[in-house]
Amino acid sequence: MLVIHCTSVAASIADANACEICGHASRKNRSLWNTSSIIFLFMTTLVTGAFGCVGAGVIRGLLAAGERPVVLDLDDDPWRVRMIAGLDAPSRVVSVRGDVTDRAILGRVVREHGVRRLIHLAAWQIPLCRQDKHGRLDARELT
């Protein structure tokens, strides 16, 4: 599995030992869409936090490259997918509702969809972090 932005999420996936750690593509001054050493065509990509600002751009890029990404987010509303990538996007994006802290969901999504690449973008925004200092510490540790 290829991991872009490696975090503890990769360690929660059953075949984490098969991961090739690439870190942030931006640190290497590479484009995710034009770098043959990072992106392999027709490799299933799981994007966590896909409905955030950065995630939306990643989804548009994957779709433009002809891929059919799998997205994991707390929301699975098809309207959001349409707003990100166009009216026909829900038919080209597999959307799974779930929390990145739920290892069972992560494992199921990886197995069911044959995920070989993970782009981890799920994170809490600052106001939410300030409101809940103790209840979701595990989510802050993961992201």
H-helix or E-strand spanning residue 35: none
17 or 59, higher pLDDT? 59
The CATH number linked to 70 is: 3.40.50.720
Q: How many domains does the chain have?
A: 1
Per-residue pLDDT for 113 more than 90?
yes
DSSP string spanning 101-139? Answer: T-HHHHHHHHHHHT--EEEE-----HHHHHH-TTTTHHH
Best CA proximity match to 46, nearest among 69, 19, 23: 69
Mean pLDDT over residues 39-58, rounded?
A: 79
The whole-model pTM stands at 0.63
Q: How far apart are CA 79 and CA 100, in angstroms?
A: 21
One-letter amino acid at 35 equals T
Please, which residues bridge with residue 48 across strands? 72, 120
Q: How far apart are CA 103 and CA 61, in angstroms?
A: 27
Highest mean pLDDT out of 6-20, 50-64, 96-110: 96-110
pLDDT confidence band for 33 (50 / 70 / 90): very low
- pLDDT tens profile 55-76: 888 888 888 888 889 999 887 7
Domain hosting residue 92, numbered range: 2-142
